[in-house]
Structure 1
Amino acid sequence: MYDITLFTPQDMAKCSLVLRHLGRNTASMEATSQKIVNYIYQHFCDSQTGENSCALVRLFKTHPYGELEDSLQQSARRLMKGNSPATDMKCWTLLAAAGTEPQWNSRHTAAENTAIPLVSPKLVAQMPAISEIIRQFGLDIPTFLGIERERFLQLEPAVLNIFYVSEAKGSPLIPEQNSLIIPYQVKSVLGFGGLLPSGSLFAVVMFLKVKISQSRAEMFKDLALSVKTALSLPDEKSVFEYSENPTTFVTNNNNCETQLLEYQVATLMQLLDFSEQEMLRKAARFQQTIDNLQRELAEHKNKEQALKISQNSFTGILTIPNDAILQVEENHEIQRFNQGEEQI
């Protein structure tokens, strides 16, 4: 179990290890996604009460309309008032969910709209949660909607980030105020994700019943790569568990085995690069903290030394026995006097 308000680097390492391996021995990306949200929902709890820290956990992925299964295509067409999107149009697709209510534990019943067509930059900009996830992940909407292959190859390794809303209640970024945020007392919303090798964007979104800080939220950037690794293992297989025509992934084929091994090596290299970059970033931040403390300590010592010199000089003046010395404030009140004044 992990208490998100007390989340440590050790907890992060343990959670990351588990999530990274959830993509093994699964037939589809949807099955892997369900494992991921179930694990997060079940294992993030209040350390005192044991109550789940999340009201709801969702995992989204962008997917071409033409490759969606029928129920998801129907959801997309419903939002477009019966019109059919282009086959290559990206749709913001719910792959898995887990939460407090029984209906939240299946993508088929977890939300009214399970596939949202991303028609144009203008319309996407009017979707506050989606457009803000894109922005906080470090992308702009036009680039996101029309990533070219060359541009994507440059962006894919770098796009791993968080989506964070400190105060969920009343936030324009979270439209489900009356149906989710208020009745289930959601305090903060935290998401993390990035780009998959296929070119799809993925995001895990946690609706938290506790409030967390920006620094604590930043730690979840590390989990983005683990989830990416888990989702990428079945990325060449069928995406949807109940697809009528799932793509068969033949593991005993030498070419497929070679491709899988090459991908695993590339992922491990990316994991190593990411870990080293995070280590350097944290080391730089730690060094900056030390430098600031040393600077503050030096300033304190200088002030202390100046005060001591001032006090010694003033004390020496006050101890002169034959002269009367007074310390008078602006309001003419006497604050201090020496023995000479006392004798007078």
Structure 2
Amino acid sequence: MSCILRVVRADGGVARWEMEKCMGGVERFPCEWSRLTLSDVTHLGMSLRHISLQSASLFHRATAITQLLFESFTCHETGVPVCPLVRVFRTVPVTELSEEDRVSVDRRVAESGEARSEKVMQLIGTYGLHPGWCDVSLSSTHRCVPMNATTFPVQFPTLSELMRVVSAESRRVFEQTGDLVARERVDGLLYVPDAANSPYISAQAEFVNRYHIRSAIGFGGQFRDGEHYCVVMFSRWIIPQSVLPLMRILSLNIRLGLERQESCERRCNDGGAKRVDDSEKHTGPRRVGSCDTDIFDNLLGLYEQMVLQQDVRLQQELARVVEQQGVIEDHAARVQALNRQLLVAGEVERRALSRDLHDIVATQLVGMIFQMQAVLDVPTDGREALLGWIEKYRYELLEIVQRTRELSFALHPASLERAGVVVALERLLREAGRRQGWTVESQCSESVERVLTYEESVCVYRVTQEALHNCEKHAKATRVGVAFDTCGDELILRVIDNGRGFVRSGERGAASDGGLGQLAMQERARLINAELKIESSCTSGTVVSLHIQLGGRCEGEGLTRG
């Protein structure tokens, strides 16, 4: 975004050609509050410090810094700036103001009725959505703000609070006011996560609501001459608390971008020593000597290079991890699809085999029985021995038919399709109880039929079948029960026995067929997004439970069988 500035002033107005010169060669790296990283701040800091080499005017550098911040913090999807207004202030003694600014300050002080303050907060850089926000000279309210004891905090609460935390000693305090406006002070940071109704932003209707301001952040520090600088950024996006440590790094780079040129001029000028002495007399000893600038720059350059190299390595490693994760997920999906195909294919084969056993084998055997019965009905002489053999074969064939029907039902229960899962479970339990002599109990609700899909019905049947098979083979139980009903937002199947329980590393879990059976139950449950639980004790028996989430289904939403 570019703004044409029409006013040229010697005391801070910025012309278009001067701004373009100041911003020339400065790289811009898009940043986003929710995704801000140390690498982003490092790139942005390099650009901010580069500004100091482009212009000798503090006003030019400050406005260039606000423009860079305005254009850097954008929406990731659209690239639109998310900070409608960015401003930079500094404290200045009233005696150092221009004549025009002193007259303006005196007029405002006279209107307030207070004594003139020794210092003012001077707007040295501004950039925003409107052309009037991009020129310091066009701001009549914030251009020079008297720092009076009473009117300053009331009329300019953001600047007042920011100056307080910037000038205070480094500390970390988190406060929460009665109106739920959070403020965090971290070494000169003012953090307003919720701008709406914040006591630190007075222009609610005409600024916060109109431009959809959601958060604000202010930071600053102290120049070598003892004066302070402050940066205020208003954002349409929520500024997360996690970026606060990165703002300290950004603040340091802005300070270097603002005052570095003056340091270079003092160092290179023959009369620099005298000016430095005057500065020290006025503000006390300098915190960092100008002779240390080259060393600091070299160390900072090495730090930035290391950060950028580490960021490249981390990005490459992340790309490899993402690629490997994709391969793993692809393989897992293929394995799951293969397992589903195997189970589906098994069901298809079982259904075909069941149909053949019932329609061919059983039918033929029944025909033989009728033929034998016809032979028995024909009276002949001396047929006692023959009748004895025929009767024996007849009973054997009846047993074959019964066993064939049981095998057919075990492979694919036709009643599961015709009568539903409840009838199929009851018949399964009843047949197993007859074979083993168990006392059986069934508590299956018919209402489950209306919400259960056919795939889920098959899973319920197979899990019950495997659980009863394990009970027959290992448990030595005398009482077995099956319960199937809704419980809250899930369907729960339970197969309970009072037999000899087991532990996973014990005799029952160690059996190869039992282990495979449990794996098959687990896989069937996973394919319908259900949860299988097996609770067992060597003294109290075993409970196999299958939990199927209803997921908001209503009665009548079960799929058609078959």
TM-score, length-scaled by structure 2:
0.41
- Which of residues 67, 72, 80 in structure 2 aligns to 1:38? 67
**With CA pairs under 8 Å and 6+ residues apart, which has the higher RCO, 1 or 2?**
1
Q: CA deviation at 1:97?
A: 0.5
Sort the Cα spacing of 1:322 and 1:250 in 2 relative to 1 into closer, same or farther, 3 A: closer
Aligned to 1:98: 127
The answer on 1:4 being equivalent to 2:61 is: no
Retained in 2: the 8 A contact 1:192–1:224? yes
Q: How many Å separate the matches in 1 of 2:271 and 2:39?
A: 38
- Distance in 2 (alpha carbons) for counterparts of 1:210 and 1:197: 34
Query: Residue by residue, what CA displacement relative to the aligned partner does 1:96-120 show, whole Å, maximum 9, x if unpaired?
Result: 1001011111111135232111123
CA–CA separation in structure 1 for the residues paired with 2:160 and 2:295 = 30
- Take 2:147 and 2:274, find their aligned partners in 1: how far apart are those partners? 35
Q: What's the Cα RMSD here?
A: 4.1
Question: Does the 8 Å CA contact 1:229/1:267 hold for their aligned counterparts?
Answer: no
1:77–1:85 contact (8 Å) kept in structure 2: no
Residue 42 of structure 1 aligns with an amino acid whose one-letter code is E
- Gap regions ≥5 residues in structure 1: 141-158, 238-247, 276-318, 327-334
Deviation sequence 1:20-72 (CA, Å, 0-9, x none): 22122423211211111111112222121111121011001111111112333
Question: Are 1:200 and 2:227 matched, yes or no?
Answer: yes
* 1:229 counterpart SS class: helix
Task: Indicate if the aligned counterparts of 1:189 and 1:206 stay in contact, CA closer than 8 A.
Answer: yes
User: Which is worse superposed, 60-69 or 215-224?
Assistant: 215-224
Instruction: Please say if residues 215 and 237 of structure 2, whose CA atoms lie closer than 8 Å, have aligned partners that are also in contact.
Output: yes
- Does the Cα contact within 8 Å between 1:12 and 1:223 map onto a contact in 2? yes
Which one of the candidate residues 170, 195, 220 is aligned to 2:197?
A: 170
3-state secondary structure, aligned to 1:192:
strand
Q: Quick one: structure 1 residues 320 and 116, their matched pair in 2 at CA, closer, same or farther if it must change by over 3 Å?
A: same
Deviation at 1:251, TM superposition (A): 4.3
Return the letter of the residue paired with 1:201. H
Q: How does 1:44-55 map to 2 (within 5 A)?
A: 44-55=73-84
Moved over 4 A (4+): 82-87, 122-125, 234-237, 248-252, 254-261, 265-272, 319-326
Deviations 1:145-184 (A, max 9, x none): xxxxxxxxxxxxxx95322111112111111212221111
Q: 1:188 corresponds to which residue?
A: 215
Q: Offset at 1:3? A: 2.8
User: Alpha carbons of 1:267 and 1:93: their partners in 2 closer, same or farther (altered >3 Å)?
Assistant: farther
- Secondary structure of the equivalent of 2:189? strand
8 Å contact from structure 2 (residues 165, 187) kept in 1:
no
Any conservation in 2 of the 1:251–1:257 contact (CA below 8 Å)? no
Of 47, 55, 75 in structure 2, the residue corresponding to residue 26 of structure 1 is 55
Letter in 2 for 1:2: P
1:136: Cα distance to partner?
A: 3.7
Evaluate the alpha carbon distance shift between residue 254 and residue 261 of structure 1 in structure 2; reply closer, same or farther with a 3 A threshold. farther
Q: Distance in 1 between matches of 2:204 and 2:299?
A: 38
SS in 1 for 2:229: strand
Maintained 8 Å contact 1:193/1:224? yes
What is the CA deviation profile of residues 69-111 of structure 1, one whole-angstrom value per residue up to 9, with x for unaligned ones? 2333233223212579658x12111111001011111111135
The separation in 2 between residues aligned to 1:266 and 1:125, in whole angstroms, is: 41
Q: Would the alpha carbon gap of residues 175 and 75 (structure 1) be closer, same or farther in structure 2, given more than 3 Å must change?
A: farther
Query: Which structure has the larger Rg?
Result: 2
**Contact 2:215–2:239 (CA<8 Å) still a contact in 1?**
yes
TM-score, normalised with respect to structure 1: 0.64
Identity %, equivalent residues: 23
Whether the 8 Å CA contact 1:325–1:338 is kept in 2: the answer is yes
Q: Which amino acid aligns with 2:109?
A: M
- The structure that is helix-richer by fraction is 2
Specify whether residues 321 and 104 from structure 1 end up closer, same or farther in structure 2 by C-alpha distance, changes over 3 A only.
Answer: same
The size of the alignment, in residue pairs, is 268
Asked whether 1:253 is paired with 2:270, we answer yes
In the aligned structure 1, how far is the partner of 2:115 from the partner of 2:57?
25
Structure 1 residue 189 displacement after superposition: 0.8
CA drift at 1:266? 7.6
2:260 is equivalent to residue 233 of structure 1: yes
Change (3 A) 1:86 1:112: closer
Measured in 1, the distance between the counterparts of 2:129 and 2:232 equals 15
Residue type of the alignment partner of 2:125: A
1:123-162 aligned at under 5 Å gives the runs 123-126=151-154, 127-137=156-166, 139=168, 161-162=188-189
Aligned partner of residue 138 in structure 2, secondary structure: coil
Residue 51 of structure 2 aligns to a residue whose secondary structure is coil
In 1, the alpha carbon distance for the partners of 2:148 and 2:300 equals 33
Q: Give the secondary structure class of the aligned counterpart of 1:212.
A: coil
Task: Give per-residue Cα distances to partners, 1:108-153, cap 9 Å, x unaligned.
Answer: 1135232111123x5544442123213443618xxxxxxxxxxxxx
Deviates more, 1:37-46 or 1:252-261: 252-261
* Separation in 1, partners of 2:115, 2:256: 30
Distance 1:74 1:250, change over 3 A: farther
CA distance in 1, matches of 2:100, 2:243: 38
* Separation of aligned partners in 1, 2:62 and 2:137: 14
In the alignment, is the contact (CA less than 8 A) between 1:190 and 1:205 conserved in 2? yes
Is contact 1:97-1:110 (8 Å) kept? no
Q: What amino acid sits opposite 1:11 in the alignment?
A: D
Q: In the TM superposition, what are the counterparts of 1:332-343 in structure 2 within 5 Å?
A: 337-339=496-498
For 2:274 and 2:256, how far apart are their aligned partners in 1?
17
